[in-house]
Chain A
Amino acid sequence: MTRKANPVPTRILRKSASGILVVLISLSILFPLAWMAIAGFKGRTEVLRSPFQFFPDMWRWSNYTSIAKDHEFLRAMIVTFVGALIFTALSLAVNSMAAYAFARLEFRGKRFWWVYCILPMFIPMMAILITSFVVVSKLGMLNTLAVLIIPGVASAIQMFFLRQYYLNFPVAVEEAALIDGASRWQIFARVFLPQSAAPFVVVGLGSYLAYWNAYVWPILVVTDPKLTQIMQFLGNFRSDRGNDWGMLMAGSTLAAIPTIILLLIFQRFIVNGVRISGMK
Chain B
Amino acid sequence: MALLESSAIDAPPAAGRQRGSGKGGTGRRAVGARRQDNITAYLMIAPMVILLGIFVMWPLAYSGYLSFFKINYYTGSKFVGLQFYHDVLTSDEFWHSLWIGFYYALLVVPIGIILALLLASFIKTLSKRVAAFMKVTVYLPAVVSTVIASVLFTFMYQDDGVVNWFLSLINLAPVAWLNDPQWALPAIAVPGIWLGFGITTLIVLAAMLDIPDSYYESAMLDGANFRQRLFRITIPLLRNVLLYLIVTGFALAVQMIDLPLIMTGGGPVDATTTPNYYIFSQFRSPDPYSRSYALTASLLLFVVLGLVSIAMFRLIRSDKAVDG
Contacts and interface: CB of A to CB of B under 8 A. Distances in A.
Interface of A: 1-2, 18, 21-22, 25-26, 29-30, 32-33, 35-36, 47-48, 50-52, 54, 93-95, 97-98, 100-102, 104-108, 110, 113, 116-117, 119-128, 130-132, 134-136, 139, 150-154, 156-157, 159-161, 164-165, 167-171, 174-175, 178-181, 183-186, 188, 198-199, 201-202, 205-206, 209, 213, 215, 231, 234-235, 245, 248-249, 252, 256, 259-260, 263-264, 267-268, 270-273, 275, 278-280
Nearest to B322: A168
B44 A165 contact: no
Contact of A124 (B59, B276, B320): B276
A30 B139 contact: no
Contacts, number: 328
Contacts of A117: 45, 48-49, 52
A272 B199 contact: no
B24 A186 contact: yes
B40 A105 contact: yes
> Is chain A's binding surface mostly helix, strand, loop or mixed?
helix
Nearest to B305: A122
Given A18-B125, A131-B58, A181-B14, 20 more contacts: A30-B140, A32-B149, A35-B162, A50-B161, A52-B155, A94-B47, A106-B1, A106-B3, A124-B298, A126-B298, A127-B60, A131-B60, A131-B62, A157-B248, A168-B240, A171-B323, A184-B44, A202-B202, A263-B136, A280-B211
A198 B122 CA distance: 18
Interface of B: 1-4, 6-7, 9, 11-12, 14, 16-17, 19, 21, 23-24, 26, 34, 36-38, 40-42, 44-45, 47-49, 51-52, 54-60, 62-63, 66, 119, 122, 125-126, 130, 132-149, 151-153, 155-156, 158-162, 165, 194, 198-199, 202-203, 205-207, 209-213, 225-226, 237, 240-241, 243-244, 247-248, 251-252, 255, 257, 275-276, 279-280, 283, 291, 294-295, 298-299, 301-302, 305-306, 309, 318-324
Given A161-B203, A198-B209, A101 B126 contact: no
